[in-house]
Structure 1
């Protein structure tokens, strides 16, 4: 994804007020030039956000594109009195990320509302307290999983390894890794219900 600013202006010179004005203008005028300015400003930041959240580079770019499809379609709904442009766009990105990871069954938490509240910063994926708490619960539940499943969970959860990296490391087909991951997460969710800190 090549991002260029043909106007010669530094994208970093845009203020929060500038971004809100651009987003409002997009909603009113549907200008491709305005859309391009918003895309060039936010796309690299959103990609970094998705990467920090554990998405692959390819998935991150896909989620950036999906975010901006929604921005284009719903820009007229933006209200600068209720939120900044950054907050509005990052909320779209966060919700897409949650939906995608839910579909891939990558969640370890039972409560989706927790994800909606926890995955909110541009800088961090999880609040340290909840991450530490979950880590302790998972640690206690892992020995109760079959060895091949617990190994995959350890690599994904503690090493932050992607499915493809796990497959490469364990010399297993990618489909096998995904299948074991699904089984492990399903079992782990049930086990976590009975694990006390």
Structure 2
């Protein structure tokens, strides 16, 4: 298996469907559900690992290892505890930490200052800036017409392609694209103020 590049044009089910896919894998060892889950999450996990500082080859290997662990441990997934994506990314993160330990030549029983490890998250000033930007963006989004908010949400938050948005909303594809273009232009104006 190889992790392929992220294909944003393909439609993907919402997170609830991934929980159902994990249950199908756990209960019936459903290979089709696993193939869909692998196709969706493997490139995202690889990208996450690379952004966290893993070299591409190691990120590829860890992403495959994480998804193999998902197959083996699907019965441990509890949808009441976490979303499927959270559970999968937690597995990947733990594998990355284990790889860092191995690379440093440390044993599990040695004293190790985990606080000395570089954090996966952004620096405090970057995080503050991101939070301020997010607050401004939410305010700007709230000023958009409902129709524009709808297409932005479906496209950017639900990762739906434009043709699927057109189908969901029952509007022509050109209207979806026009609303997207207008919404993005309006957001730029509002954010520049």
Q: TM-score range, shorter-chain basis? A: 0.5 to 0.7
Give distance in 2, aligned partners of 1:36 and 1:80: 20
For the structure 1 residues 130 and 71, does the alpha-carbon distance in structure 2 shift closer, same or farther, using more than 3 Å as the test? farther
Match of 1:126 in 2: 121
Q: Distance in 2 between matches of 1:113 and 1:91?
A: 18
2:114 to 112, 122, 126: 112
C-alpha separation in 1, matches of 2:116 and 2:20: 32
Equivalent runs, 1:106-185 vs 2, <5 Å? 111-112=113-114, 125-129=120-124
Does the 8 Å contact 1:11/1:41 carry over to 2?
Answer: no
Between 22-31 and 92-101, the greater mean CA deviation after superposition: 22-31
Distance, in Å, in 2 between the alignment partners of 1:30 and 1:61 is 24
Higher relative contact order (CA 8 A, sep 6+): 2
CA 1:29–1:58: 2 relative to 1, 3 Å = same
Task: Quote the residue 1:66 is aligned against.
Answer: 65
Please list the CA deviations of residues 6-62 of structure 1 after superposition, one character each: whole Å capped at 9, or x if unmatched.
xxxx65431011111111111111011111110000011011011111111111110
Could you say which residue in structure 1 is the equivalent of 2:45?
Answer: 46
In structure 2, stretches of 5+ residues that fail to align are 107-111, 128-193
Any unmatched runs of 5+ in structure 1? 5-9, 120-124, 133-197
- Could you say if the C-alpha distance between residues 78 and 130 of structure 1 is closer, same or farther in structure 2, counting changes exceeding 3 Å? farther
Question: What is the deviation of 1:97?
Answer: 0.2
Distance 2:125 2:56 in 1: 26
Count of residue pairs the alignment pairs up: 118
